[in-house]
A and B are shown apart, each in its own frame.
Chain A
């Protein structure tokens, strides 16, 4: 089956610094990738939709200048949390659709746990 990886799997950073999270589709090409975040004991919340070669579409309430998304190739999307604060501590999960499969199934990565101190 299609595999999505994320790097790093966990990261601890100091308040005010920036953190980059990578999402890769390992055995398929993805024109569309999605970024979610999940706070403890809550469900996943969609943050943005990332399209290869174009600007990401952000959900209402998500600051595009704080959560920078770059989808420069068909296998890689990155999420950069700029000037991170403790309230940004969360579980960040990406997913991707296989461009060539003909279906709309989303394949999810294992997630990245961000802790801001």
Chain B
């Protein structure tokens, strides 16, 4: 049970921002929100994680709602190489459990 809900697929035009939503309405107070992505036939790649504050790194931004029941991953300028399956997960001290993720297709 992944305990998060994501749309199965999204398209994004190259150069535009990709906004990937995730619902984690039953998240516990000590659980972080993690985002990973998997490009075909590779191991998952860490993107970003957060607890309750918005976070930004060189890859993406993570916006977490004040009630922590949902979040949005933002890729500010999507490129063709960002085409992948994106996984939103929640974890305290437990192993990451993968759901079906969102298949993002960046279109030229």
Contacts and interface: CB of A to CB of B under 8 A. Distances in A.
Contacts of B98: 36, 43-46
A111 B92 contact: no
Contacts of B45: 108
Given A104-B32, A105-B34, A105-B49, A46 B43 contact: no
Nearest to B45: A108
B32 A107 contact: no
B101 A43 contact: yes
A49 B95 contact: yes
Interface in A83-98: 91, 93, 95
| Consensus secondary structure, chain A interface | strand
Contacts, number: 50
Contacts of B34: 105
Interface residues of B, number: 23
Contacts of A107: 46
B68 to A, nearest CB: 17
Contacts of B41: 91, 111, 113
B91 interface: yes
A43 B43 contact: no
B22 to A, nearest CB: 15
A106 interface: yes
A110 B42 contact: yes
B43 A93 contact: yes
Nearest to A103: B49
A104 B43 contact: no
A108 B43 contact: yes
Interface of B: 2, 32, 34, 36, 38, 41-46, 49, 87, 91-93, 95-101
Interface of A: 1, 4, 6, 34, 36, 43-46, 49, 91, 93, 95, 104-111, 113
In order of increasing CB-CB distance, the 7 nearest A-B pairs are A108-B43, A44-B98, A43-B98, A108-B44, A110-B43, A111-B43, A34-B95
